[in-house]
């Protein structure tokens, strides 16, 4: 469809960020590019997920996404031991913050008992791949599979990982929310910039997609840019391309697909939510992330809140609470990162249907605009 598609071997410039291997494989098979978010997997789990994708993607290109924050507590404090990093990071959480978490749980009748299954691993402790020490092994696993794209959020991958990716013919993409970040990442050797606007699900900056994308396109040309944030339909994709992007990077829209592993409770919330039911809040990860507004996000905005902790400490609190909230079915506290396009996510389709609907509407839109020119 365009130069970027040719260089990646895909039919449509539709990139699907997802934590679900079934969605990633389905999008790639449908002609787009599925990109599996590695953050929540241990290295062993990621190996299994990627092996599964290799077996189900019919040889089509796919990618992996990691999150390697430029700024985080582990980096500031020099914490690098994966065996002790969970306990080490917990040492930086104040009693006032733990007390506040216990209070939120008590206020909602959630039993706050100890967990027997917590084996002390970074995943069980809520550290996930947020730290350099736990994120780097995920990059190693990803590069041992036939991926075509390595993407990274909150900062570019380490220079050494970029060089290794390039040596294997893997393109490197980085999500950014400001022009300066795009310029920095290109200087580090990143091949594709994902310009993600304020309306997106997950971590977002403060600039809207409509404003960010053309600024980034001009600042990094001829480096290709993907438009992200608020894209779930062909009209929105056409808008991103009109702004100068070479493709659309999407996240929220896949949460309401048949293949996705979203729970029934969250799926119902997503189907019923309006754009104004999302909020940009630090209460999940410590950095501003757009998500459904819930009793949890509200509690961290309340006057008695001690305020969210920096990444990844807040996520340790969040995952402690969410494990207990999930068991207690305290649904008012259950949320999900999702963008403002949640208002349009009001039915469940297969991932293939989403890709094809997007492509068809994109074609209709560009034809409509051509016709408008003929009449001008
Ligand atoms: C549930 C969810 C989780 C996300 N987690 C990540 C992540 O781990 N890494 C990442 O690079 N982006 C993540 N994002 C952001 C997406 O990559 C993408 O940029 C964003 O969803 C685009 O905006 P949209 O939600 O309007 O489509 C996440 C988005 C959602 C909705």
Cα–Cα distance between 290 and 281 in angstroms, integer? 6
* C-alpha distance from residue 218 to each of 36, 183, 193, 222, 233 (Å): 29, 11, 12, 8, 25
**Ligand 1 atom closest to Cα of residue 175:** 11
pLDDT the model gives residue 75: 85
**What token pair was written down for 66?**
């990691």
Out of 18, 37, 157, give the residue to mutate to test ligand 1, the one with the largest number of ligand atoms within 8 Å of its CB: 37
Residues with CB under 6 A from ligand 1: 17, 37, 39, 65, 67, 151, 153, 175, 196, 199-202, 228-231, 249-253, 336-339, 341
**CA-to-CA distance for 299 and 103, rounded, in angstroms?**
10
C-beta neighbour count of 158 within 10 angstroms: 16
- Write out the chain's pLDDT in tens, 376 residues: 799 999 999 999 999 999 999 999 999 999 999 999 999 999 999 999 999 999 999 999 999 999 988 778 888 888 888 888 988 999 999 999 999 999 999 999 999 987 766 777 888 788 888 888 888 899 999 999 999 999 999 988 889 999 999 999 999 999 999 999 999 999 999 999 999 999 999 999 999 999 999 999 999 999 999 999 999 999 999 999 999 999 999 999 999 999 999 999 999 999 999 999 999 999 999 999 999 999 999 999 999 999 999 999 999 999 999 999 999 999 999 999 999 999 999 999 999 999 999 999 999 999 999 999 887 7
Please tell me the distance between residue 8's alpha carbon and the centre of ligand 1 in angstroms: 21
Distance from Cα 290 to the centre of ligand 1, integer Å: 9
Tell me, in angstroms, the distance from the centre of ligand 1 to residue 361's CA: 23
pLDDT of residue 92: 94
Closest residue by CA, ligand 1 atom 20: 251
Do the strands 278-281 and 62-67 form a parallel or antiparallel pair, or are they unpaired?
Answer: unpaired
| pTM attached to this predicted model | 0.96
- The confidence score (pLDDT) of residue 116 equals 63
Structural domains for the chain: 3-73+129-257 (3.20.20.70)
For residue 308, report the distance from its CA to the centre of ligand 1, in Å.
Answer: 21
Distance, in Å, from the CA atom of 27 to the CA atom of 33, rounded to the nearest integer, reads 6
User: How many angstroms separate the CA atoms of 151 and 267, rounded?
Assistant: 26
């Amino acid at each position: 469809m365009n130069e970027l598609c040719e260089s990646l071997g895909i039919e449509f410039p539709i990139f699907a960020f997802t934590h679900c291997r079934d969605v990633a494989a389905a999008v790639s098979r449908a002609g787009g590019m599925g990109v599996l978010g590695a953050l929540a997997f241990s290295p062993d789990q990621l190996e299994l997920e990627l092996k599964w994708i290799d077996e189900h993607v019919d040889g089509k290109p796919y990618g992996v996404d990691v999150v390697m924050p430029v700024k985080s507590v582990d980096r500031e404090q020099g914490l690098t031991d994966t065996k002790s990093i969970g306990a080490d990071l917990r040492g930086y959480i104040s009693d006032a913050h733990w007390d506040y978490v216990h209070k939120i749980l008590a206020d909602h009748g959630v039993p706050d008992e100890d967990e027997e299954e917590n084996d002390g691993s970074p995943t069980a402790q809520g550290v996930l791949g947020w730290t350099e020490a736990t994120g780097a092994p995920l990059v190693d696993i990803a590069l041992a599979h036939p991926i075509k794209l390595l993407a990274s959020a909150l900062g570019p991958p380490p220079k050494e990982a970029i060089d290794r990716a390039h040596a294997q013919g893997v393109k490197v993409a980085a999500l950014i929310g400001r022009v300066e970040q795009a310029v920095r990442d290109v200087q580090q050797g990143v091949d594709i910039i994902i310009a993600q606007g304020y309306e997106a699900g997950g971590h977002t900056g403060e600039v809207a997609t409509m404003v960010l994308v053309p600024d980034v396109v001009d600042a990094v040309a001829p480096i290709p840019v993907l438009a992200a944030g608020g894209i779930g339909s062909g009209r929105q994709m056409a808008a991103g391309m009109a702004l100068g992007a070479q493709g659309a990077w999407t996240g929220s829209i896949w949460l309401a697909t048949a293949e996705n592993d979203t729970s029934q409770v969250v799926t119902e919330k997503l189907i019923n939510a309006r754009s104004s039911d999302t909020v940009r809040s630090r209460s999940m990860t410590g950095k501003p992330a757009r998500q459904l507004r819930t009793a949890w996000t509200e509690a961290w905005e309340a006057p008695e809140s001690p305020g969210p902790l920096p990444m990844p400490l807040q996520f340790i609190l969040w995952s402690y609470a969410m494990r207990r909230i999930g068991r207690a079915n305290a649904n008012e506290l259950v949320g999900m990162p999702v963008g403002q396009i949640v208002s349009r996510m009001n039915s469940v389709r297969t991932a293939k249907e989403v890709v094809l609907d997007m492509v068809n509407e994109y074609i209709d839109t560009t034809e409509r605009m051509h016709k408008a020119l003929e009449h001008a």
